[in-house]
Amino acid sequence: MELKQANENLREFTRVASHDLKSPLRGIADLVEWVREDLGENPKPAVVRNLERIAERVAGLERLIADLLRYARSEQVDAECVLIDFPALVRDILRVDPLPGGFSLDVSVDAEPLSAPWTPIETVLRNLIANAVKHHDLASGRIAVDFRDDGWYCLMSVTDDGPGIPEHAKERVFRLFRSPGAAKRTGLGLGLALTKRLVEIHGGRMELVSPLLDQRGSSFRVWWPRTPRRTNNG
């Protein structure tokens, strides 16, 4: 009962906070555009850079609000299942969020198509791929996405050749507002918390293996049930 009340409080807080923050953020974004227009054709480079930084901060806060809403609503998922084609799923993700130059992604499939809600599983995979890129310590890297059958589950793995995650930091990476990388890296740390919550709400589990070879690399592994789990926690 206490957990249910805590989740309800989180949803209510997120709804109110997002409503109260969206309008001021839009106002700031509009002001930035107006200032840009008033600067004319030859603005000072330093002024342009500062305006770009403001716009980036606003966009980051807007993403944070969207992530908070998704996190708070994740327990209410009860979507219709579709037959998921894994290569098509990855292609759709990369079409919207292409990898930066220097990064490559390999896909390996040894699994039957999965019947599952599209949005949650797409969100999980998108977050794990984005996390592999965001916290890489080099300008180039390799990401491997693997799908295979594991009993009553489909095992999805996203493996990178980044810096790895030390043992003492593994537990905190799934907490709200925690970043898996070093303290100097930026990030609000909502992606992995949302990812783990979505997996567990749908009856799956998630684990992190890191470091891998030569004390580098991480592998996030998700066991997604082949028998859909219905939720009714609204």
Model confidence pLDDT, tens digit, residues 19-58: 667 778 888 888 888 888 888 888 888 888 888 888 887 8
pLDDT for 1: 47
The band of 222, judged by pLDDT with boundaries at 50, 70 and 90, is very high
Report the greatest alpha carbon distance in the chain: 64
pLDDT of residue 234: 44
Would you state the structure tokens that stand for residue 194, as one six-digit string?
């949302």
- Residues 218 and 63: their CA atoms lie apart, in Å, by 25
CA dihedral 214, 90, 186, 24 (to 10 degrees): -170
| pLDDT one-digit tens code per residue, 175-207 | 765 555 543 444 444 678 878 888 988 899 999
Percent of the chain whose pLDDT exceeds 90: 33
What sign results for the dihedral spanned by CA atoms 38, 44, 45, 51?
A: negative
**pLDDT (tens digit per residue) in 92-121:** 889 878 899 999 999 999 999 899 888 788
- How crowded is residue 93: how many other Cβ atoms within 10 Å of its Cβ? 20
**Could you tell me the pTM of the whole model?**
0.68
Look at 66-70, 170-174, 219-223 and tell me which has the smallest mean pLDDT: 66-70
pLDDT computed for residue 71 by the predictor: 58
Helix, strand, coil shares of the chain, percent, nearest 5, are 50, 20, 30
Tell me the average pLDDT of the chain. Answer: 81
